[in-house]
Amino acid sequence: MAIEIEREITPAGAGPAGRPARPWWMRPAFHTGLIGAVGGYLLGHWLGNFLSSSYPQNPLSDTNDVPIVLGYAFGVIGWLAGLGIFNELFAMMAGKRIRDSHQLAAEDGADTGLAKYFRYSLNHKTVGIQYLFGMVGYFLTGGLFAMAIRSELLSPTYHLLGPTNYLMVVGEHGTMMMMMMTSVILGPFGNYLVPLMIGSKRMAFPRLEALSFWLTPAAYIILLSGVLFGGFPMGWTGYAPLSVQAAQGADAYYFAFGLMGISMILVGFNLIVTIINYRAPGMRWGRLPIFVWAIFTTAFLMVLAAPVLVGACFMTLSDRTFQTAFFVNTLGGSSYLWQNLFWFFGHPEVYLLALPGFGIVSELIPVFCRKPLFGYRVAGAGMVGVAILSFFVWQHHLFNSGINPDMRPVFMLTTELISIPTGFIYLVAMGTFWKAKIRFTIPMLFCLAFFFNFLIGGISGVFNSDTPADTTQHGSFFVMAHFHYTIMGGLIFAFMAGIYYWLPKMTGIKLNETLGKIHFWTMFIFFNSTFLPLFALGLMGMPRRVFEYAQNLQTLNDWVSISAFCLGGSILIFLINLVWSTLFLREPETGNPWQSRGLEWQVASPPAPENFAAVPVVLSGPYEYGVKGAPPMADLNPPTGVISGALTGQGAEV
């Protein structure tokens, strides 16, 4: 364990090396980033036109893909440059000494006011809050697209959106959700809470962490910019060769998804290194909060799976711009190649959407059951098992594709095997509930809803894994219902549990309880009322991503659409609660409202810029509820010399 013991951080603003206090608009921030992005885009667009003037132009937009892609690339560089991300790089190249990132992180943390949330801030708590509000924004955008889809599906013939607009909306919804929501828990809670939970003052790589966040608005805006070119017709899966013949809107999809892939790799590396190296003394692997285990396994999935996506996106962009032929059958490419590459990333991806949810619910139920987590090792093993197996199942997306057909039983087996470690999460929960003292707080309600929804999602997943049954289910609304149950019903419900549980920690403000209860019940009821009928619709023969369907399915579809609008209303209640509680009501909650043993709750809310005054010494596990004479989780003010003594082999253990 690498522990930084005695590195002294000068208090903010005190040292001679402190940044000169310029007014906010003089410092690189969001607004300079926007200027850089626009300038970069124009430069890249001009360069692309210059390089590809002889390429065929798309008659619709009077341009081709090269200027768009180069525009995006230069736009991102301009955006990052405008945010000041390269300043230190240039300073180093000029031979200047740059300041220590941990020092800068501590100073950023000490900043007051809202301006720090709009700049390239190195403090993990600032980045966590940036991620939180960013992710809520991305989620709401994706949700609005869903409302548009359901409006179109009110009628079996197309009436509201034409086919182009319908596919644009479907693609934007799917991609926004599947691409941006990969970081919905890892970004906000992973960055904010992991150092607090492992007793660290900081993350390992503050600059990587900040960069990983600032790539997400770029990916978001680029993805949305596809709308300007009529969107992309491939949905979130981006299958070739449809992608090769698609208009320029598709560049937005591939560029944004690749960019988000890079962000995922960065956030994953940072968390892995932090969790391995920055645990406080006494924070053994066996005492690591189960949420941190979930983040750890998720981070590994991100680091191992996302590069495949980045590579595949780059290959498609090169097919579309400088005319390689990775996916063009007639030129020696293969339409199967994208399917393999995409799902080799895509299946680990859906588990990296599930694992953080497992982590949050397993972290929260001991607190509200007032009991230790049942089978801590089983829970950890379950997460590691899911993470490993997730790399061996991707061909179950291709059961009907004709590729490698005699291997289908094997992929059926690996897919079904995943339900064993996933079942561990249920074993752990049911064991924890045994003779518990269950407190029905709002986070707990969301956890309970998670177990309800995820069970339906998981069991329907076993139906999907079964090759004969999948013949009917594949590409139908059944599959759609399945993954909405696991991702929306699992991940998003866990995310909501996390917000209600940890927002008091992150802001020192608690969310309104009445609105929270209304939010929970409406969301739970309308979520199920929206997605349960979709299983039936799929089995009755409704394919995904269609704007026309059989007349006899209209009643069910209308039911689903109306439920979906109500679900949207429920999310609106959440938004009102979030804004109203944090901006207007501002009910303070500075203590430990849940009587949690967790290390993150032993410090003030919001925590001090450096989390802990001294590196804490962890004395026991986080879930020792009801254990007579259990020591507190950590000694926050260990006697001087205890840590260095332990490191040199004389001290604590004697």
| Interface of this chain with other proteins, residues 536 to 575, rule: CB under 8 A | 539-541, 543-550
Q: One symbol per residue from 608 to 627: x for binding other proteins (CB under 8 A), - otherwise; what is it? A: ----------------xxxx
Q: One symbol per residue from 181 to 220: x for binding other proteins (CB under 8 A), - otherwise; what is it? A: ----------------------------------------
Among 87, 164, 552, 650, binds other proteins (CB under 8 A): 164
Nearer to other proteins, 43 or 417 (CB): 417
Rounded to the nearest 5 degrees, what angle is found at the Cα of 475, between the Cα atoms of 152 and 328? 105
Give me the amino acid identity at 573: I
In the complex, the smallest distance separating the C-beta of residue 483 from other proteins, rounded to whole angstroms, is 15
In the complex, the smallest distance separating the C-beta of residue 92 from other proteins, rounded to whole angstroms, is 47
| Interface of this chain with other proteins, residues 332 to 391, rule: CB under 8 A | 335-336, 339, 369-378
Tokens of 178: 């599947």
Nearer to other proteins, 75 or 385 (CB): 385
439 binds other proteins (CB under 8 A): yes
C-alpha distances in angstroms, 319 versus 315, 326, 539? 6, 7, 37
C-alpha distances in angstroms, 482 versus 528, 548, 602? 12, 21, 39
19 binds other proteins (CB under 8 A): no
In the complex, the smallest distance separating the C-beta of residue 73 from other proteins, rounded to whole angstroms, is 27
Spell out the residues 6+ positions from residue 27 whose beta carbon is closer than 8 angstroms to its own.
84, 115, 119
In the complex, the smallest distance separating the C-beta of residue 416 from other proteins, rounded to whole angstroms, is 5
**Part of the chain binding other proteins (CB under 8 A), chosen from 85-93, 221-229, 453-461, 586-594:** 453-461
**Part of the chain binding other proteins (CB under 8 A), chosen from 103-111, 271-279, 454-462, 606-614:** 454-462
629 binds other proteins (CB under 8 A): no
C-alpha 317/C-alpha 335 separation (Å) is: 15
Among 159, 284, 437, 586, binds other proteins (CB under 8 A): 437
Among 57, 329, 555, 650, binds other proteins (CB under 8 A): 329
423 binds other proteins (CB under 8 A): yes
Nearer to other proteins, 31 or 544 (CB): 544
Under DSSP, the state recorded for 53 is T
Among 117, 158, 391, 580, binds other proteins (CB under 8 A): 158
Q: Let me know: does 493 contact 185? Beta carbons within 8 Å.
A: no
Count Cβ atoms below 10 Å from residue 39 Cβ, excluding itself: 16
Nearer to other proteins, 101 or 422 (CB): 422
Count Cβ atoms below 10 Å from residue 6 Cβ, excluding itself: 7
| Interface of this chain with other proteins, residues 457 to 516, rule: CB under 8 A | 459, 462-463, 465-472, 474-476
**Part of the chain binding other proteins (CB under 8 A), chosen from 113-121, 122-130, 274-282, 445-453:** 445-453
**Part of the chain binding other proteins (CB under 8 A), chosen from 188-196, 410-418, 580-588, 600-608:** 410-418
Tokens of 231: 């969107």
Give Dmax (Cα) for the chain. Answer: 79
Q: What backbone torsions phi and psi does residue 58 show, to the nearest 5 degrees? A: -75, 125
C-alpha distances in angstroms, 11 versus 113, 163, 609, 637? 17, 59, 10, 19
The per-residue b/e assignment along 560-597, b for 16 or more CB within 10 angstroms, e otherwise, is: bbebbbbbbebbebbeebbeebbeeeeeeeeebebebb
Tell me which residue of 182, 195, 82, 203 sits closest to 131, measured CA to CA.
Answer: 182
Nearer to other proteins, 74 or 232 (CB): 232
